[in-house]
Structure 1
Amino acid sequence: MQQVGGRTLRVATWRLDEKSDHLPVLFFNGIGANIEAVAPLADALSERGFIMFDMPGVGESPDPTIPYNPFTMSWTASKLLDQLGIDDVDVMGISWGGGMAQHFAMQHAARTRRLVLIATSAGMLMMPGSPKALTKMANPRRYIDTDYMLKNFETLYGEGLGKSKGKKGHMSLLKPPSPRGYMYQLMCMLGWTSAPALPFLLKQKTLIMMGDDDAIVPLTNGKFLSMLIPNSELVVMEGGGHLFLLSHKEESVKAIRGFLNGTAADAESNEAQAA
């Protein structure tokens, strides 16, 4: 637990004390999801440091006393980096956290090298998912009631997860957010959109990852982001639902690692620009 910008937050870090040729990752989680839900990704990216925190009222972070918004939480995340002695990071976000990641990358552009957006959108200006999925998405029982979650899993997260053990495995990692924590997360992005700013303010190289079977954030939203972000590339996980990061773990980690570590093409491009 750390005091960050006047808030008490549960913070998790990986390998920050180990020497690495790569920048650490600052990760923003999905709505209502606690640190443990994405810990396997932090473990998989073993060549770099990793930083994540539970949003107020989520996981082990205490309830917020007042509402927050993308600006204040990006500021809080920047203060956390200061406390950890970190100047620059690669930023990642999934679903709700993808909006936070976009906002952080624009608000704190000087600290953000590259950006990875997973199963996310430009905020309020988005193509909505199926009404059936969105109705269940808005119900906090999906975190609180295990039977409810398993019963509606395919509707919520797509058949791309199949009948793998990932369902129960994922459920075992989740801790229900508090009612206030869940409400304030919903309120945080109310009316927010990155769309008008992306073409002008988001200059970092950006990887957009989407599933073509996502009932919550349809693929169209990823294509829209790709159109708006000048220096971006879109990777589509075939058969991937909203949690393709879990169902397509090896493919996802390979794509993320390749993007963050850079490729030969990137090196040639940089040399050409320098010349």
Structure 2
Amino acid sequence: MTNTAQQSMIGVAGRRLHVARWHAGTKGHRPLLMLNGIGMNLELLAPIARALPEREVISFDLPGIGQSPDPIIPYTIPCMALTTAALLDRLEIEQADILGISWGGALAQQFAFQHRARTGRLVLAATSAGAAMVPGNASMLAHMADPREYTVERTLRRNLASIYNGGGSAKVSLNAAKAPSPLGFSYQLAAFATWTSLPFLPLLSLPVMVMADEEDQLVPPSNAHFLHNAIPHSRLEMFHGGGHLFMLSQQDRFIEKLRNFLDD
């Protein structure tokens, strides 16, 4: 067993995706599929994957993000949920637990709705119901509306430090961050802007844990309470002082809560 991910480019549903698998072939637990935030490459999630050596962990870069090539045409979140299912087919994974972070939480909700039988347990971290969300800090959202702020290496880490760690008192290493392409970032932003999970949240009949930080300035914690109240029998775990990337800035506690829920 190694902490180094097996990385490959996989063609699926007309796209080529950069895919990483940590602890591939590990038995005894369902694999965990991690879906990342907007513009965030999979390498940023490596600390979480390495902290879960008892299970296989999988992640992939969205089109135009990280090492995945640009999308040819715009996509929707339901379309990307179908692509995710096709990727699991290629990896010969019948069912997986899903961890969705920020934008990835939207994709995780949609995947669980479209592919209930393939979803074990669902973890929604620092995310919302999409277009129905309570908006975050206005200046941060204004920065996100300008792809140039995230697609140029010179400004990328500065913005990630202020926005993705917004509200956090502990620093997060962003050395692994790679600038997305302007097209990849724009299409990802547009897909979220036109999507909401509001109609189907009460229909998510599976174990769900919602996680958020009280000081998240990008996705205010009221969004987590909304998801928790809308999803039947869901569990709510609140953090404090971790900011939007509390799963990295307070990694030990996050892993403890995540592992306990997945193993419950």
**Do Structure 1 and Structure 2 share a fold, with TM-score over 0.5?**
yes
Is 1:14 aligned with 2:17? no
**Cα displacement string for residues 100-136 of structure 1 (whole angstroms, at most 9, x for unaligned residues):** 0000001000000110000000000010001122122
Whether contact under 8 Å (2:97, 2:119) holds in the other structure is: yes
Q: Which residue is equivalent to 1:186?
A: 189
Mapping 1:61-140, distance limit 5 Å: 61-140=68-147
Cα RMSD (Å): 1.6
Q: Which of 47, 58, 61 is residue 54 of structure 2 equivalent to?
A: 47
Cα distance change, pair 91–176 in 1 and its aligned pair in 2 (3 A):
same
Aligned to 2:176: 173
Residue 188 of structure 1 aligns with an amino acid whose one-letter code is A
* 2:228 match: 226
Unaligned runs of 5+ in 1: 263-275
Q: Partner of 1:160: helix, strand, or coil?
A: coil
Q: Give the structure 2 partner of residue 213 of structure 1.
A: 215
Matched AA of 1:33: M
Among candidates 129, 144, 155, match of residue 152 of structure 2: 144
CA–CA distance in 2 between the matches of 1:150 and 1:67? 28
Rg (Cα) greater in structure: 1
The one-letter code of the counterpart of 2:16 is: T
- Shift of the 148–80 alpha-carbon distance from structure 1 to 2, 3 Å rule, reads closer
Question: 1:188-203 counterparts in 2 under 5 A?
Answer: 188-200=191-203, 202-203=204-205
The residue matched to 1:159 in structure 2 has which SS? Answer: coil
- 3-state SS, counterpart of residue 255 of structure 1: helix
Q: Which amino acid in the other structure matches residue 130 of structure 2?
A: G
Greater helix fraction, Structure 1 or Structure 2:
1
Match of 1:160 in 2: 168
Q: Is the CA contact (8 Å cut-off) linking 1:161 and 1:243 kept in structure 2?
A: no
8 Å Cα contact 2:208/2:235 also seen in 1: yes
Displacement of 1:155 in angstroms is 5.2
Q: Please list every run of 5 or more consecutive structure 2 residues that lacks an aligned counterpart in the other structure.
A: 1-8
> 1:190-234: CA deviations, max 9, x gaps?
22110121102x111111110000101000000000000002111
Q: Which residue number in structure 1 is paired with residue 247 of structure 2?
A: 245
User: Counterpart amino acid of 2:126?
Assistant: A
Residues 148, 47 of structure 1: alpha-carbon distance in 2 compared, 3 angstrom cutoff: closer
Aligned length: 255
Q: State the 1:151 CA deviation.
A: 7.0
Check the 8 A contact 2:150/2:159 in 1, yes or no: no
Matches of 1:25 and 1:179 in 2, distance apart? 29
Partner Cα separation in structure 1 for residue 234 and residue 57 of structure 2: 22
Distance 2:140 2:110 in 1: 26
**Quick one: structure 1 residues 142 and 184, their matched pair in 2 at CA, closer, same or farther if it must change by over 3 Å?**
closer
Quote the Cα distance in structure 1 between the aligned partners of 2:124 and 2:214. 15
Identity %: 45
For residue 42 of structure 1, report the CA deviation from its aligned partner.
0.8
Report if the CA contact (8 A) 2:34-2:100 is conserved: yes
SS in structure 2 of the partner of residue 3 of structure 1: strand
2:167–2:217 Cα contact (<8 Å) kept: no
Give 1:148 deviation, angstroms.
6.4
